[in-house]
Amino acid sequence: MTTKEEIIKKSPYKPKLVEVIDYHRETNDTFTIKLGWKLKHEPGQFVFCSLPGIGEAPISICSHSDNYVELNIREVGNMTRFLSKIKKGDKLLVRGPYGRAYPMDKFKSHNMIIIGGGSGVAPLKGSVEYISNNRGDFGEVSLFFGFRTPEDVLFRKRLDVWKDEFSMYINFDRVEGKTIYGGKQGFVTERVKEVVGDNKDAIVFICGPPIMIEKVAEILIDKGFDEKQIYISAERLMYCGIGKCGRCMIHGKYTCLDGAVFRYDELKDYKDD
Ligand SMILES: Cc1cc2nc3c(=O)[nH]c(=O)nc-3n(C[C@H](O)[C@H](O)[C@H](O)COP(=O)(O)OP(=O)(O)OC[C@H]3O[C@@H](n4cnc5c(N)ncnc54)[C@H](O)[C@@H]3O)c2cc1C
Ligand code: FES
């Protein structure tokens, strides 16, 4: 007979206890934690964080390092609010990594266009760090980030570096007073329309609210981009992360296994809600 200990030992859901080595408040409702977790992972993957008695949440890895994992979390409900109380030195239960990563090897020597809206900037941060760590492998890199207001800007220390390393375009839905990073008022979609040319070579990553993803993809396709040049991130409610519960299905695809990164043509007939 299999004992409870043996079942737990074999379980794919078994989490690992890791230390929180840094905690940084980004905005009113978001924070970034750095975990002392030497985890082999690729840009675009995610992990699950759990708090016993509270719940479990899938969170994208927003860094690219063999020595640590960073997670940027928005407080939206019970689990994420409890997570926000965590402190440097605390331990957190985690499992992963999960999901299909961006096939970064395929993009060598291509120009890269990275477009993020709001908390959608966080999952893209890991891929921009990857590009920065392997700068010689890529052509021109353009970053387009949209935030509600200058107070909602994430990762200011990184943006300070990236504004000199890449072409960076920031947009704000509203600017009252002084803008930052030369950010313009208006949706990021408008900036993409204004700045991006007919770039047949570029690979595009888009992450953000579904409506933003849809509009940006439409603009790019109108400009002559092929659907196969565009990669999007799809967020779905998830329980297991390993293709067992079926909670994350989109048109016969498991977001947890086949995504959360998809090439645009793989989901093109699907309209998000
Ligand atoms: C692959 C993946 C990667 C993610 N990466 C991040 C990340 O990097 N940072 C981050 O802050 N959040 C991320 N999320 C969302 C995060 O998992 C949820 O916000 C979290 O589980 C909510 O838990 P809660 O108990 O705090 O809120 P709940 O009380 O469960 O939900 C609060 C509100 O958020 C909505 N919500 C919950 N989960 C999701 C979801 N998966 N997609 C869309 N809406 C949801 C609910 O419908 C509800 O309106 C990711 C989700 C997925 C599937
Ligand atoms: S989250 Fe369970 S099948 Fe994808």
Q: Dihedrals φ, ψ of 214, to 5°?
A: -65, -45
**Which-ligand-closest: CA of 238?**
2
Sorted by sequence, the CB contacts under 8 Å of residue 236 that are 6+ apart come out as 247, 248, 249, 250, 255, 256, 259, 260
DSSP, collapsed to helix, strand or coil, labels residue 269 as: coil
Rounded distance from Cα 140 to ligand 1 centre (Å): 33
Set out the domains of the chain in order of their start, with CATH numbers.
12-98 (2.40.30.10), 104-233 (3.40.50.80)
Print pLDDT tens along the chain (273 aa).
Answer: 567 676 666 777 889 999 999 999 999 999 999 999 999 999 999 999 999 999 999 999 999 999 999 999 999 999 999 999 999 999 999 999 999 999 999 999 999 999 999 999 999 999 999 999 999 999 999 999 999 999 999 999 999 999 999 999 999 999 888 888 889 999 999 999 999 998 878 999 999 999 999 999 999 999 999 999 999 998 888 999 999 999 998 888 899 999 899 999 988 665 554
How high is the pLDDT of residue 14? Answer: 86
Alpha helices in 156-240 (DSSP H): 156-165, 188-195, 210-222
Question: Hey, whose CA ends up nearest to atom 26 of ligand 1?
Answer: 77
Ligand 1 neighbours, Cβ below 6 Å, are 46, 55, 57-60, 72-74, 76-80, 119, 122-123, 235-238, 260
